[in-house]
Amino acid sequence: MRNLLVAGGAGFIGSNFVHHILNTYPDYRVVVYDKLTYAGNLDNLRDYANDPRYAFEQGDICDAARVREVLQKHDIDTIVNFAAETHVDRSLTDPGSFIMTDVYGTHVLLEATKELGLERYHQVSTDEVYGEVLEGRTCEMAPIQTRSPYSASKAGGDLMVMAYFTSFQLPVTITRGSNNIGPYQYPEKVVPLWVTNALDDKPLPIYGDGLQMRDYQYVLDHCEGIDLVLHKGVPGEVYNLGTGTETRNIDVAHFILDLLGKPKSLIQYITDRPGHDRRYALSVEKVRALGWTSRHTSYQALENTVRWYVDNEWWWRKIKSGDLYREYYKQHYSGREVDAPKR
Ligand code: NAD
Ligand code: DAU
């Protein structure tokens, strides 16, 4: 592997992966292929704008001709696919765009991998495909039990990847990651939303009772895990990536407020997300056996993340002051306030 196409590389995890690869492998070249939806942002990659090992190509993964053109132009041997519609709440109001990108777009990349005989295809997927996990933890053999249009679309993409392995022996791997946090996460996802709201003394909206649990992992740990699977993973296999521990949302909110020295009165309960998955919990034994374990606990990851948003107002203020963001925020949050649940 020398010439990587990172699809969706201008988004949150994809851009951190580009940083990781260019810092780790001096002889690799990275081409970011990204549609630049509302979630794509070239500010995330500005550190590499003048690096001869990096190139950016704007394009849609659903556009087969453009995908082929870029793959051939840059002599790509490996695709790592981060490109997706990723926000569960948006999937409830616009499922069609999720099906297009997350399922059909994945198929377009797989077809190109097959036709051009690329060395490797890696699919970045999510723990959400296992559905909510009320007890225990899910290993890679657990059934797919999706519940939101987002997770159903991601599962559709995963199933296409496995179909290309079985039917055409394509050299594919899949990783299923838990919730990532860290630099460059678009502030509609809960942690950057709460941190930036708290910095501005604005309410932290909490869905339902706030007792839902997620495995919050540091994004650069996740990127190291993807790197390991890309280089050492067995084709046709799926690997879970997470810390293997869970934290309640309400505890995350309290931790952020304490770190920033802000009052708990900023917490504002709101109506729940429809179909809200109560808990995700991964078994990470399989990837541990391959040699990866996350470096940061969830609380260390939160601390690093809060510090990054404190230090990088230039990045998030631009987004949060834009009309697109403000309109989304108003439509999504206004009128949803409820009383705090009785404990
Ligand atoms: P993101 O929303 O921050 O970024 C997605 C990127 O994909 C953006 O740059 C966007 O412009 C691009 N994109 C969207 N549609 C495209 C299309 N049709 N063609 C080309 N580019 C397109 O997402 P993220 O949080 O960085 O997630 C990246 C991947 O990791 C996704 O596949 C997601 O399902 C998966 N994942 C995310 C998390 C998480 O906690 N954020 C956890 C596990 C897995
Ligand atoms: O588990 C991996 C998944 O994590 C990824 O596949 C998704 O792309 C990513 O968006 C994320 O999904 P979640 O739905 O878990 O993340 P989100 O940040 O939207 O919400 C995290 C938790 O916080 C969830 O229980 C809902 C809750 N929440 C969210 C928002 C936006 C709130 O309480 N208030 C909010 O305003």
Contact partners, residue 331, CB within 8 Å, separation at least 6 = none
244-279: per-residue pLDDT in tens?
999 999 999 999 999 999 999 999 999 999 999 999
Q: How confident is the model at residue 200 (pLDDT cuts 50, 70, 90)?
A: very high
CB 51 within 8 A of CB 57: no
- 336: its two tokens: 């949803």
Mind giving me the DSSP string for 210-256? S--EE--EEHHHHHHHHHHHHHHSPTTEEEEES-S--EEHHHHHHHH
Nearest ligand 2 atom to alpha carbon 215? 1
Q: Which ligand is nearest to the CA of 185?
A: 1
Nearest to residue 103, comparing CAs of 69, 152, 148, 63? 152
140-163: per-residue pLDDT in tens?
999 999 999 999 999 999 999 999
Residue ranges of domains in the chain: 3-181+218-241
Residues whose beta carbon lies within 6 Å of some atom of ligand 2: 86-88, 126-128, 178-179, 189-190, 193, 205-207, 212, 214, 249, 273, 280
Kindly list the distances between the CA atom of residue 147 and the CA atoms of 38, 133, 232, 311, in Å, as whole numbers in the listed order.
Answer: 24, 12, 32, 37
Tell me what percent of the residues of the chain surpass a pLDDT of 90: 99
Q: Is the distance from the beta carbon of residue 186 to the nearest atom of ligand 1 less than 6 Å?
A: yes
- The protein residue with its alpha carbon nearest to ligand 2, atom 8, reads 86
* Distance in Å, CA 231 to ligand 1 centroid: 21
Nearest ligand 2 atom to alpha carbon 273? 26
Q: Which ligand is nearest to the CA of 106?
A: 1
Q: Judge whether residue 1 has pLDDT over 80.
A: no
What pLDDT is attached to residue 343?
Answer: 83
* Distance in Å, CA 340 to ligand 1 centroid: 33
Q: How confident is the model at residue 286 (pLDDT cuts 50, 70, 90)?
A: very high
Catalytic residue ranges: 127-128, 150
Q: What topology does CATH give the domain 3-181+218-241? A: Rossmann fold (3.40.50)
Considering only residues 4 and 2, tell me which one the structure prediction assigns the higher pLDDT.
4
Nearest to residue 216, comparing CAs of 184, 186, 188, 251? 251
CB 193 within 8 A of CB 267: no
Q: Which ligand is nearest to the CA of 158?
A: 1
Q: How confident is the model at residue 172 (pLDDT cuts 50, 70, 90)?
A: very high
294-324: per-residue pLDDT in tens?
999 999 999 999 999 999 999 999 999 999 9
Q: Provide the whole-model pTM.
A: 0.99
Kindly list the distances between the CA atom of residue 30 and the CA atoms of 9, 13, 25, 136, 145, in Å, as whole numbers in the listed order.
Answer: 10, 15, 10, 39, 34
